[in-house]
């Protein structure tokens, strides 16, 4: 039995990690992108500084920067302790230790917090949540969903997964979901039935290997388009 969480928590990642997780090419970084369930990741802040077009959505954005910072602090030690207790389930190459993991994640989340108020004003951070989004049909070239679908299979139903992926395909030309493991590091039991459902519904769904791996075996994404 691996790492467990009793609820969905705010935990952010950097642009460098996003590029690896979602196998993003330099050309794709210039596309109109949605970071769905983006939470306190720094992807939006860092990409905006580079002149790229990213909108992030998350129910977390109902809170102020100070409130989000407080929630991060409340969950930080839980995550680090959980990773330490299950350290053999992770690949310690680019990240060398749980302590370094904490430093890297806090740097990314600090960048988000610094950008959050301005991003709200510029409508780059949008209060929205799956499985129903406020965006227009095919508003985005690419929708990214990191560490939400499949990760929280114990908290989100298979129907939620079906409906959420179909909704993401409504608002974007292509959807990429990473990882395909649950929080404990096991392949989500929802993956195969979701794939079957998507293909039966006429979607193109493909599992692709990527060069990023932190959870052992967590080096695949799901690409979906209609």
Alpha carbon of 34 to those of 13, 94, 137: distances in Å?
15, 26, 13
The boundaries of the domain holding residue 79 are 15-225
Tens digit of each residue's pLDDT (9 = 90 or more) over 139-178: 999 999 999 999 999 999 999 999 999 999 999 999 999 9
- pLDDT given at position 114: 98
The token pair that represents 226 in the structure block: 């209609």
Q: Across all residues in the chain, what is the average pLDDT?
A: 95
Is residue 52, in this structure, part of any structural domain at all?
A: yes
CA terminus-to-terminus distance, the chain: 36
Is residue 2, in this structure, part of any structural domain at all?
A: no
Give the whole-angstrom CA distance, residue 33 versus residue 24.
11
DSSP state for residue 153 in the 8-state scheme: T
- pLDDT given at position 3: 54
The CATH number for 75's domain is 3.40.50.150
Is residue 122, in this structure, part of any structural domain at all?
A: yes
**Which of 64, 188, 182 lies closest to 119, judged by CA?**
64
Residue ranges of alpha helices (H) inside 50-190 are 65-85, 98-121, 158-171
Is residue 1, in this structure, part of any structural domain at all?
A: no
Tens digit of each residue's pLDDT (9 = 90 or more) over 145-154: 999 999 999 9
Beta bridge partners of residue 181, listed in sequence order: 187
Give the whole-angstrom CA distance, residue 29 versus residue 50.
10
Is residue 3, in this structure, part of any structural domain at all?
A: no
Is residue 190, in this structure, part of any structural domain at all?
A: yes
Tens digit of each residue's pLDDT (9 = 90 or more) over 43-83: 999 999 999 999 999 999 999 999 999 999 999 999 999 99
Structural domain count, the chain: 1
Give the whole-angstrom CA distance, residue 214 versus residue 146.
13
């Amino acid at each position: 039995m691996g790492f467990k969480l009793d609820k969905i928590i705010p935990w952010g990642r950097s642009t460098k990690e996003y590029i690896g997780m979602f196998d993003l090419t330099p050309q794709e970084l210039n596309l109109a992108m949605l970071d769905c369930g983006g939470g306190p990741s720094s992807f939006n802040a860092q990409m905006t500084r580079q002149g790229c077009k990213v909108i992030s959505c998350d129910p977390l954005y109902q809170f102020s920067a100070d409130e989000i910072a407080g929630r991060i602090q409340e969950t930080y030690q839980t995550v680090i302790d959980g990773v330490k207790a299950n350290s053999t389930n992770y690949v310690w190459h680019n990240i060398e230790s749980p302590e370094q993991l904490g430093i890297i994640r806090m740097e990314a989340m600090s960048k988000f917090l610094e950008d959050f108020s301005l991003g709200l004003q510029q409508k780059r951070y949008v209060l929205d949540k799956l499985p129903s989004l406020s965006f227009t049909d095919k508003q985005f070239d690419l929708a990214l969903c990191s560490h939400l679908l499949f990760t929280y299979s114990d908290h989100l139903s298979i129907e939620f997964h079906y409906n959420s992926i179909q909704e993401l395909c409504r608002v974007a030309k292509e959807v990429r979901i990473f990882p395909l493991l649950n929080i404990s590091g096991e392949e989500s039991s929802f993956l195969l039935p979701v794939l079957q459902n998507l293909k039966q519904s006429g979607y193109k769904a493909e599992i692709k290997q990527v060069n990023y791996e932190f959870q052992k075996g967590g080096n695949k994404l799901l690409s979906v388009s209609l």
